[in-house]
Amino acid sequence: MTLTLTPFIQLDGKAEEAIRFYEQALEAEVVFKQTFGDAPADPERPMPDSLKGRVAHSVLKVGDAELFVADSETESSERPGSLVCVCISTADVARSQRLFESLSRGGRVDMPLQPTYFSPGFGVVTDKFGVVFQIFTKRD
């Protein structure tokens, strides 16, 4: 069973600038980029115009590794600069659920593991040491 850990840098409105910087500084290649505005509309949770241009997710290829860069969904006084978290990718929801439950013991669930438009099982948890993990299940 494959398990991948990827560094994920979240910024407060500066992701686009950071991506351009990493393209030069790290010779990174952008292999995927999506804004919040590119996501399917959710009538129960309308998106403010100020969020639509922010980077929801990007994947940069740096040598043989990947680096994820995105903007936070909302401006936050808790994270005035940036947040580095770890994205754990698995191939099945059951394994994602086990990892999510293990990491949440003594920690905090920030977003329950659930199906989303981009994953059959995605969630965010902060472990008891304050490290943020995104659990991402790949589509078949």
Q: Does one domain contain both 98 and 39?
A: no
69, 52: one domain: yes
Number of residues that this document lists for the chain: 140
Separation between Cα atoms, residue 63 and residue 60, nearest integer Å: 10
Same domain, 66 and 90: no
Domain that holds residue 6: 1-77
- Kindly give the confidence (pLDDT) of every residue in the chain, 140 residues in length, as a single tens digit, with 9 standing for 90 and above: 678 889 998 888 889 999 998 999 888 999 999 999 999 988 998 989 989 999 999 999 988 899 999 998 765 545 544 578 889 999 999 999 999 999 999 989 999 999 999 999 999 998 887 888 899 999 98
40 plus 14 within the same structural domain: yes
36 and 25 in a common domain: yes
Q: Tell me if 67 sits within 8 A of 60, measured CB to CB.
A: yes
User: Whole-model pTM?
Assistant: 0.74
Tokens of 75: 């401006």
Q: Which tokens in the block code for residue 76?
A: 């936050």
- Classify each residue of 7-42 as buried b or exposed e, where b means 16 or more C-beta atoms within 10 Å of its C-beta: ebbbbbebbbebbeebeeeeebeeeebebbeebeee
Do 32 and 53 fall within a single domain?
yes
**Same structural domain, 71 and 119:** no
